[in-house]
Chain A
Amino acid sequence: MPVRLLSVPLLLALAYALLSSPLALADVAEPSGYKLDQFRSQVPASLKGATTVNSGATWKLWRGGETVFIDVMPQAPKPKNLHEGTFWRERPRNTIPGSYWLANVGYGRLHPDAEQWFKNKLQILTSGNKNKPVLFFCLMNCWMSWNAAKRALSYGYQKVFWYPEGTDGWDFENYPLKAQYADMYLR
């Protein structure tokens, strides 16, 4: 009987091949604009105009010391109208040592004041040099870093790196992490 050809070991092998193959996931095309929602989903393999780097290449850039590392992990600001005495805690995050955590600059759309804040921060961190290499990251499968890197390109930065694996990939390689607090635009 033909059915017998599909033995259990064969099925298992097939399942393993399907699950372990990168082809099992469809490639995600680069959107023309910014990613507006579903920030935690599969990201494209590239960002046009930027250099996409893996953990090893990112490690080399980090060791090189020339590149400005920018963490764009979002974090909500403390609401302004909380009761006095409400216990609120700004949470630190374990991120790449020496990086700058500019929260909330990777959303699909930014308030004009928030965008100006981001531009100013980039200008300060690069000493106004648009040829200074800048690298953006957040988490694995997080579009925030893709959006932020795309923004930096639109501001005219010439050497933009995108590290899609983010702190997840960095941590996986046992590279060092350091607890830091977020800097963010507050209206």
Chain B
Amino acid sequence: MKHKSLGLALAFVSVLCLAQSGAVSAESTWSAIKPAIFQERVIHHSRELIKLEAPYRTLDDRIIPIRVNTTLPGGRSIKSLTLIADDNPMPVIGVFRPASDVSSFGIGLNIRLDGTSIIRAVVETDDGSLYMTHKLVKTSGQGACASPPVSDLDKIDETIGQMAFNDVTSKGAATGFTSIARRGRLKLMHPNLTGLQMNQITLQHIPARYVDKLTVWQGKRELFSVESGITLSENPELEFEYRLDGSEDLTVEASDTEGTKFKSSFPLGPAS
């Protein structure tokens, strides 16, 4: 079954350290990191194909909502969507890969930022072309990368990997048609330790431990996967859209850098 349009919206939380004024200029940052991510490939700028929403100035550097939507004309499909925070020490926020040929893809996620940074969304199409848009996000200076975890790390094992899933489809859209797009919100309990946070007792850095892969299945069909880094927030949240197709459940598989695997399934409503 070929889905011409699958909208995905992810809400993640992520980011990094002290707000850096006097930082080296944005353009020089991109020219410094671009070869490591895309080598010498040509990237076309397009605000038309990719819509990126992000706050101009953040309220909380640890939880910055961003949203990306892309729709390709002419039957082309999306191979991947790469999100980048230029000035984070681990610049690649995540690489999202729709599992089927879709011409439309959207994610919404919460990230954390080390300091004021340009956020980029780069779409790779099925013919290998790259399109990009970007937006400047000014931080409020808390330095989220190094800010202490909110969770009690001694009790992490009790909750790590637990997930919750909610259908957050707005009422206007839920009209009962078989293929109506639904919006789901996933929450995953995980400290997503950046490796930059200090243990206030030992004064040593807490080792990094973060979710590095997450895959969402609808029934037996994979919807999408994402490879992620420390930019995902503590206890990340992810919003995505899907279409009811008769599958009885939605399954999420995740793993972290310790090799720990997490899996949960959630019942879905009937297709009609």
Cβ of A134 under 8 Å from chain B: no
CB pair A91–B203 under 8 Å, yes or no, is no
Partner of B22, one of A39, A110, A114, A139: A139
Q: In the complex, what distance in Å separates the CA atom of A39 from the CA atom of B207?
A: 23
Could you give, for residues 76-106 of chain A, a 1 whenever the CB lies within 8 Å of some chain B CB and a 0 otherwise? 1111111100111111111100000000000
B16-40 CB mask vs A (1 if < 8 Å, else 0) is: 1111111110000100110011000
Q: Which residues of B contact A40 (CB under 8 A)?
A: 18-19, 141-143
B22→A81 contact, CB < 8 A:
no
Mask: chain B, 195-216; 1 = CB below 8 Å from A; 0 = not:
1101000111101110010000
For residue B91, CB closer than 8 A to chain A, the reply is: yes
Closest chain-B Cβ to A53's Cβ sits at a distance in Å of 18
Residue of B nearest to A76 (CB): B196
Question: Using a CB-CB cutoff of 8 Å, which residues 6-52 of chain A contact chain B?
Answer: 39-40
Q: List 19 A-B contacts (CB under 8 A).
A: A74-B18, A74-B146, A75-B18, A76-B17, A76-B146, A79-B208, A81-B195, A82-B208, A83-B212, A86-B229, A87-B33, A87-B90, A89-B89, A94-B23, A110-B203, A139-B22, A168-B22, A171-B22, A187-B204
| B145 CB-CB contact with A under 8 Å | yes
A77 pairs with B22, CB closer than 8 A: no
Given A76-B196, A79-B196, A111-B203, CB of A91 within 8 Å of CB of B89 = yes
Min CB gap B259→A, angstroms: 11
A179 an interface residue at 8 Å Cβ cutoff? yes
Find the A residue at minimum CB distance from B92: A87
- The answer on a CB contact under 8 Å between B202 and A111 is yes
The number of chain A residues touching the other chain, given as a range, is 35 or more
Is A79's CB under 8 angstroms from B212's CB?
Answer: no
Would you call A94 and B22 a contact (CB within 8 A)? yes
**Once bound together, how far apart are the Cα atoms of A107 and B145, in whole Å?**
15
Q: Does B116 contact A (CB under 8 A)?
A: no
The minimal Cβ–Cβ distance linking B228 to chain A, given in whole angstroms, is: 11
User: In the bound complex, do residue A76 and residue B19 qualify as a contact, i.e. CB atoms below 8 Å apart?
Assistant: no
Interface membership of chain A positions 167-187, coded 1 if the CB is closer than 8 angstroms to chain B and 0 otherwise: 110010000010100000001
| Highest count of chain A CB atoms <10 Å: which of B18, B24, B29 | B18
